[in-house]
Amino acid sequence: MTPLLELSFATTQLGQQYFGPFNVQVHPGERIAILGPSGAGKSTLLKLMARELHPQAGQVEFAGRPLAQWPLAELALRRAVLPQGSNVAFGLQCALVIGLGRVARLLDPQLEQIVQDAAAQAHATHLLGRRLDTLSGGEQARVQLARIFAQMWDVQNGLILVDEPLAALDPGLQFDLLDSLQQFCAARGHAVIAILHDINHALLGFERLLLVRSGQLVADIASDAGAVPALGALYGIALTTATNSDGDVCVIPARSTVRRAA
């Protein structure tokens, strides 16, 4: 099967630091978390996947075509990106912000209904009549996620890239939106790649982990109990495992005596 997204020896440079080479294949329906210390290169890797950065060497392909060759309007029908701290259309009403996810479509007779449904999926229905700049950080995060849902609502086997989508949310809402993202992608066969800082969210909500340190992809592993030693080494911390009532593996971090740099 042709990968939905493929990075082949993709390398870039920011200032004096080199990132890569990255070799990654992503197939429809996969749920992948990118983890690593602050400054390790997680966002750089995601930007290469999103075409916000172009590889100085190597190749990035989407659906079997070089990513750089995709017209942006056509790409927007297959791939959605939610960057960290997005401030799109800051003073607009939330319904209009969510509707911006649909701008690549010349005809969109279901726009109003899709905006309503996407808001419900992101637990943001009660925010539709408000302006984005009157919302808290967590409320804005819900609206921006609803915009991504609207963009990919009637698409199959697409790609969603998100950078710390749960960072501004309380613990209960983190789990609610993680569940919503999983259900949304599973129903449509979308692959989702998310930068996360919470190890437990990665273990509970994703099936595959990309571990990044010092600009390098140091591991591409299954998200299960076997990943715990690699995660401890990645962050330079000790991790104790526990199993919840559903049989899911959770970790409890503790500071170790030796800390590694990113």
Which residue's structure tokens are 């401030």?
Answer: 87
pLDDT band at 74 (very low <50, low <70, confident <90, very high): very high
Average pLDDT of span 153-166: 92
* Distance separating alpha carbons of residues 27 and 10, to the nearest angstrom: 18
The 3 state secondary structure assigned to 200-217 is HHHHHHCCEEEEEECCEE
pTM: 0.92
Nearest to 46 by CA among 83, 13, 6, 3: 83
Q: Which two tokens stand for residue 18?
A: 């080199």
- Are 37 and 234 contacting, i.e. CB atoms less than 8 angstroms apart? yes
- Those residues with Cβ within 8 angstroms of residue 64's Cβ, 6 or more apart along the chain or in another chain: 2, 3
* Distance separating alpha carbons of residues 243 and 252, to the nearest angstrom: 11
Which residue's structure tokens are 């993680």?
Answer: 178
Average pLDDT of span 20-46: 96
Percentage of the chain surpassing pLDDT 90?
Answer: 71
pLDDT one-digit tens code per residue, 105-145:
988 999 999 999 999 999 999 999 999 989 988 888 899 99
pLDDT of residue 166: 76
pLDDT band at 175 (very low <50, low <70, confident <90, very high): confident
- Those residues with Cβ within 8 angstroms of residue 34's Cβ, 6 or more apart along the chain or in another chain: 42, 45, 46, 193, 194, 195, 196, 209, 210, 212
Q: Which two tokens stand for residue 120?
A: 């419900």
Query: Other CB atoms closer than 10 Å to residue 262's CB: what's the count?
Result: 16
pLDDT exceeds 90 at position 207 = yes
Mean model confidence pLDDT for the chain: 91
Give the 3-state secondary structure of residue 79: strand
More confident residue, 240 or 27: 27
pLDDT exceeds 90 at position 186 = yes
DSSP string, 89-143: TTTSBHHHHHHGGGTT-S--TTHHHHHHHHHHHTT-GGGTTSBGGGS-HHHHHHH
